[in-house]
Amino acid sequence: MISYSSILKYRETYPNDYCAYGEPSDNVLISNNADISVVSPPDETDEVFMDRLSRSKESGENLFYKEWEKHKYEKGMIY
């Protein structure tokens, strides 16, 4: 499970993105203003999350949007 402190570090790095737990699960949902949303893999750990955040900083590209599965919103659902 990804800790709340890791979510806060993501928010510091990408303050314009939404990053939070996607209730009712422990998965983390990340979204930007371009209507792109991705969801964490069920087995994501803090270590893997922080490694991806570090690699994103180094590359200058948000790798979460490339490496995580796109989240598909279902029509008619209230989120």
Distance CA 51, CA 25 (A): 22
pTM as predicted: 0.86
Q: List average pLDDT for each run of 10 residues in the chain, which is 79 residues long.
A: 96 96 87 86 96 98 96 68
Check residue 78 and give its pLDDT: 59
Distance CA 18, CA 15 (A): 8
